[in-house]
Amino acid sequence: MFLQLLCNIFGFYLCIYNFYLYLCNRNTEDFIDNMWTELSDTAILNKLGTRLKDYRISSGLKQQELAMESGVGVSTIAKIESGQSVSFSLLISVMRTLGLLENLDLLVPEQKPSPMELLKMQGKQVKRVRTKKE
């Protein structure tokens, strides 16, 4: 359960940073290839915590204000910004307050049906019309 939560948080932080790269018009694939693979999990959490702190500061919010608006404790904000693990639901609350929920689809993209499944769902289609012989 802890590992699953950690994976969820890591994925969520990845989503946050992808959104940041999108805003900065940077190449996300280059970042993933060159940076994520070279950093430890702790280093990634620290880096992403710093990014959230930057969003908070650019929004003109103090930690106390963000905590109150998000419905979380100040210690939770401090943990997130320092790269420590927090509950996924707490992180969502903070992200909502900062206006960063737009890219949650990147965290776990919707599963699309395979081409074979699409064909099965369509059923047998009429390809031509024949006239009956009498």
pLDDT confidence band for 33 (50 / 70 / 90): very low
Residues 6+ apart with CB under 8 A from 131: none
Structural domain span for residue 28: 2-108
Q: Is residue 121 part of a domain?
A: no
pTM of the entire structure?
0.58
Across the chain, mean pLDDT equals 79
List the alpha helices (DSSP H) in 24-71: 28-34, 41-58, 63-70
pLDDT digits (tens, 9 = 90+) for 70-91: 999 999 999 999 999 888 899 8
CATH of the domain at 14: 1.10.260.40
Contact 59, 100 (CB under 8 A): no
Q: Is 24 exposed, middle or buried (0-12, 13-18, 19+ CB in 10 A)?
A: exposed
pLDDT digits (tens, 9 = 90+) for 112-131: 888 888 777 776 666 777 78
Q: Is residue 44 part of a domain?
A: yes
49, pLDDT greater than 80: yes
Closest by CA position to 80, among listed 42, 107, 52: 52
